[in-house]
Amino acid sequence: MLRRRKPAPEGGAETEKTAAQQPREPTGAAPSRERPGVRARMAAGGAGVIAAFGTGVARLIRLAVLVVVLILALAIAFKVLGASSHNTIVSAAHDGGKALAKPFNDMFKIDGAKATLALNWGIALLVYLVIGLAVARFVARLAAIRPVARRRRPVAQG
């Protein structure tokens, strides 16, 4: 930051100024305690923090949706392909899929247990994916909304 040089002690005359702006002429009104636009800059900074937080929340929602979809997809694949249920990974994926797709069990009944499970859990996968991504998009858009700046009333000078 550029500073003004102090006046010379002997003559009291001010030496050249190194600042880029010329000093303002004092007006009849008392100087404001804060610079113009400080509140607007502070509000914009706060909005930036809220936007960053909302974006982070939207990312976490997308990550949770991805994990849920991955668990359901693995459970469907393991069941349809006939993976051994004694394997720890297969058992964990099936247990997680069963818990996540519980509201969708017995929605449709078709020939074969594997096909019924694949259809019902596939519907659960699509529902979680669509609703989860819609919620994430909604949260991200809420975070992008900027607050409307309030107009300051002109101060009556007397």
Beta carbons of 121 and 72 less than 8 angstroms apart: yes
Beta carbons of 139 and 58 less than 8 angstroms apart: yes
Beta carbons of 152 and 37 less than 8 angstroms apart: no
Whether the model pTM is above 0.75: no
Output the CA angle 116-122-127, nearest 5 degrees: 130
- Across the chain, which distance is largest between two alpha carbons, in Å? 106
Beta carbons of 54 and 139 less than 8 angstroms apart: yes
Q: What pLDDT tens digit does each residue of the chain (158 aa) get? A: 566 655 555 655 555 555 555 556 556 555 555 555 555 555 555 556 666 677 888 899 999 999 999 999 999 999 999 988 899 999 999 999 999 999 988 888 888 889 999 999 999 999 999 999 999 999 888 877 765 555 566 677 75
- The DSSP letter of residue 102 is G
